[in-house]
Amino acid sequence: MSFNQFRLSSDILKGLNDVKLESPSPLQKKIFKAVQEKKDLVINTTIEEDPEVGYLISMLNEISKSDRRQGTRAVIVTADKERAKVLDEWIWAIGYHASIESACITEDGDPKEQLNALTKGPVVIVATPKRFSEVLEEGRIIFREVQQLIVDQAELVEDWSAIEAISNRVIGNCQRIFTAAKDSKELREAEDQMLKDPELVTLKKKSDSKSSEKQKPASKEQEKPKITKDLTQYYINVPPRSKISTLMAHIENHKPDSASAVIFTASRKTADRLYKIFRKSNKRAVSIHDKTDKGTFDERFGRFKSGNVQHLIVGQMSAADIPIEHTDHVINYDVPEDVNEYKLRAELVGDGKATRIISLVSKQDRSDINAICKSLGYAPEEVPLPKSVKDKLSTRGKKSKSKNKRGGRGKSRGRSNKKKKRSAHKLHELPRPTFDQLEGGRSGKKKKKKEKKGIIGFIKNLFD
């Protein structure tokens, strides 16, 4: 299939010819058709192709056919400034014959010059999130004609608050598109906040039907981490707002002096928060994450390795990146999204180095643990909530029920009743107005008016 069948303008076809693009790939073709539906999209780009060929050609084609060339129609945000420059050059090349202008906003440019460029209303903007949100805030710019907001390579985005700030400045109907090579909890949360009923665009079916020669190496890689039969696996179903108390209670119930535990969390913030809670509880712990510098990492990991601290809290890191020689306990505070990561964590305890691995499964973790169980072919053993957590939940439930049933009996109830009685008594003491005293209401029986004497009385009686 050639681009001619997309009914593109001659100017866009010339641009595609200039960059030696003769026909779309199957994924690009699928993206192009999905964009035509004007729905929000999540584009899976696990296959190494250029998704912009699919999602931007439609927009550039519409712009080329329009007589009006002022006002921004498309915004592309990407975390990598080099990627932003590549996209900007690509738009310039494809839109050259149609005279489509674009602006590239990255940390390399001067903010004042960039703000000046934005005020001129370039048709397409390509930007990195932080600098773009800063310039928009400085110029108090709002977009009313943007038809596409695209987050390119969304899996690389770290500052989603900047993306959200940009999204909030796009007013009116706008198609929002995310492209990503892999899934994550942060990405899912962003999709929930910024996309409306998004459609997934992927070529999974075709990737599954690849030749067996290509599939075999991939399957071997997946089978590298294994779970041995003698490993004890558990999970705890955690009620809402009880994850921290469940973790602390579980550790309290398994605290022999020589035991050590590695606790995996999904984010750096969670790791830091748990570290502070451990310190307040007088538990020896250190925390590390993917942004910890080498010196700090070596110092903290050394303390855990030497036995100076018992708990190693790991945030946003794979088990493959932690050189652990001995631990007695692995805890998934957040269930990993990938079954291979679960297997890697299990390997830390699966060769006799430790005694158990346990996962704390909240409502948000159910889909992940279900996927892991499905892949493993069996489920870890469920263990009950620690007794202290159950007692706490039971007490909380009794208090709320008692409050609802009694409606606040006791002294406070007595006081409120007294206030109500007093206020009611005062209400009854107030004179009730007759219909005559209510303006705009029914008149009822009119009372005889006293005749007023004098000139004023004569005039009033006359008008009455």
Across all residues in the chain, what is the average pLDDT? 78
- Choose between 352 and 104: higher pLDDT: 104
The predicted pLDDT at position 220 comes to 38
- Choose between 121 and 424: higher pLDDT: 121
- d(CA 363, CA 381) in angstroms, rounded, equals 18
The predicted pLDDT at position 227 comes to 55
Signed CA dihedral, 20, 26, 32, 35: sign only: negative
The predicted pLDDT at position 140 comes to 92
Using CA atoms, how far residue 234 sits from 102, 247, 390, in Å, is 55, 13, 18
DSSP 281: T
- Choose between 86 and 442: higher pLDDT: 86
Distant-in-sequence, close-in-space partners of 149: CB < 8 Å, separation ≥ 6: 74, 75, 77, 166, 167, 170, 174, 175, 176, 177
Q: What is the pLDDT of residues 282-310, one digit of tens each?
A: 899 999 998 888 889 989 988 888 888 99
Alpha-helical runs (H) found in 169-242: 185-194, 204-208, 212-223
Question: Which H or E run contains 129?
Answer: helix 129-139
Which of 5-19, 298-312, 334-348, 424-438: highest mean pLDDT? 298-312
160, 192 Cβ separation under 8 angstroms = no
The predicted pLDDT at position 219 comes to 40
Closest to 319 in 3D by CA, of 250, 248, 263, 243? 263
**Residue position matching structure tokens 């932080």:** 130
Which of 102-116, 314-328, 446-460: highest mean pLDDT? 102-116
> Quick check: helix, strand or coil at residue 83?
helix
Closest to 83 in 3D by CA, of 15, 169, 167, 181? 181
Q: What is the pLDDT of residues 137-151, one digit of tens each?
A: 999 999 988 989 999
- Choose between 2 and 39: higher pLDDT: 39
Which of 7-11, 388-392, 441-445: highest mean pLDDT? 388-392
Distant-in-sequence, close-in-space partners of 103: CB < 8 Å, separation ≥ 6: 88, 114, 117, 118, 122, 124, 125, 126
**Range with lowest mean pLDDT among 26-30, 168-172, 221-225, 426-430:** 426-430
Domain 224-388: CATH superfamily is: P-loop containing nucleotide triphosphate hydrolases (3.40.50.300)
Q: Residue 163: pLDDT band by 50, 70, 90 thresholds?
A: very high
Domain ranges of the chain: 3-203, 224-388
Question: Which H or E run contains 297?
Answer: helix 294-306
Q: What is the pLDDT of residues 329-371, one digit of tens each?
A: 899 999 988 888 888 888 787 554 445 789 999 887 888 888 8
As to burial, measured by CB atoms within 10 angstroms (0-12 exposed, 13-18 middle, 19+ buried), residue 89 is middle
The predicted pLDDT at position 149 comes to 94
**Do 224-388 and 3-203 fall under one CATH topology?**
yes
- Choose between 271 and 227: higher pLDDT: 271
In this model, does residue 43 exceed pLDDT 50?
yes
Q: Residue 48: pLDDT band by 50, 70, 90 thresholds?
A: low
Answer yes or no: CATH 3.40.390.30 is held by domain 3-203. Answer: no
Using CA atoms, how far residue 199 sits from 92, 283, 337, in Å, is 29, 46, 21
Distant-in-sequence, close-in-space partners of 197: CB < 8 Å, separation ≥ 6: 39, 40
127, 75 Cβ separation under 8 angstroms = yes
* Residue 103, strand partner residues: 125
The predicted pLDDT at position 47 comes to 55
Closest to 77 in 3D by CA, of 148, 140, 13? 148
DSSP string, 29-74: HHHHHHHHTT--EEEE--S-S-THHHHHHHHHHHHHH-S---S--E
The predicted pLDDT at position 172 comes to 82
The predicted pLDDT at position 319 comes to 87
**Residue position matching structure tokens 């303006």:** 439
User: pLDDT > 70: what percent of the chain?
Assistant: 74
Which pair of tokens denotes residue 242?
Answer: 């009880």
